[in-house]
Amino acid sequence: MTMIAVLGNGRVGGSLSAALTRAGHEVTVADRSPGAAADAARTGQIVINATPGAGSLERLLALREELEGKILVDVSNATVDGPDGLPANLLYTGSSLGEQLQVALPGTHVVKTLNTMLYTVMTAPTALVQSPTAFLSGEDPEAKQAVRGLLEDLGWHREWITDLGGIETAQAVEAAILFVPHVIRSTGFAPFAISIAR
């Protein structure tokens, strides 16, 4: 059992917190009440960023002290949305939210994952007809190993998880969000994920 703090209680955060609780972890979810994020981050061994990506850097920078020495799992995408509310561009062109978080929080082990799929797939990867791929980007091997364990608890098969390397590789996986609006407009709001076929 791991003590996990989930920052964000929307569809992504709610889905992850419910699934991780079912897997036997002790999960605290931070709502928008004053001090809730700091309290959750202080108690969690692993902190999951499920806040809207455009505001994540500012929110998490305010938790620098609470996140010191912790593993921060970033599942968000920092985008500029179009008129229909779907991603139209990346907020950090030439970089990524994952990289920005690691620079701003040097004492925290940032691991980017689960951002290349519709949120329902994060906790139910076996529901897809084809095997999806979950990517890991981060500097600390032990942190990535811990996150790999959480993914397996969520139903991800070990062979479906690909470690891309350092946090700079988050730039590539975050750019995958630009596929999303086109996929949704083409096929509707149905579960999908990026898959590396071998």
pLDDT in tens, 100-157: 999 999 999 999 999 999 999 999 999 999 999 999 999 999 999 999 999 999 999 9
- Identify whether the C-beta of residue 120 lies closer than 8 Å to the C-beta of residue 193: no
The residue whose two tokens read 């928008």 is: 32
Given this model, what pLDDT does residue 102 score? 98
- pTM of this structure: 0.96
Q: Read off the amino acid at residue 148.
A: R
Closest CA to 53 of 174, 136, 183, 184: 174
Given this model, what pLDDT does residue 169 score? 98
d(CA 173, CA 154): 20
Q: Is 102 helix (H, G, I), strand (E, B) or coil?
A: helix
Helices (H) and strands (E) in the chain, counts: 9, 9
Given this model, what pLDDT does residue 160 score? 98
Given this model, what pLDDT does residue 84 score? 87
Residues in contact with 91: Cβ distance below 8 Å, sequence separation at least 6, in sequence order: 53, 54, 78, 79, 80, 97
3-state helix, strand, coil in the chain (%, to 5): 45, 20, 35
Q: DSSP per residue over 33-62, as a string?
A: STTHHHHHHHH-SEEEE-S-HHHHHHHHHT
Closest CA to 102 of 138, 70, 76: 138
Given this model, what pLDDT does residue 108 score? 98
Given this model, what pLDDT does residue 60 score? 97
197 — phi, psi (to 5°)?
Answer: -85, 135
Average pLDDT, consecutive stretches of 10 residues, N- to C-terminus, the chain (198 residues): 93 97 96 87 96 96 97 97 90 96 98 96 96 98 98 98 98 94 89 92
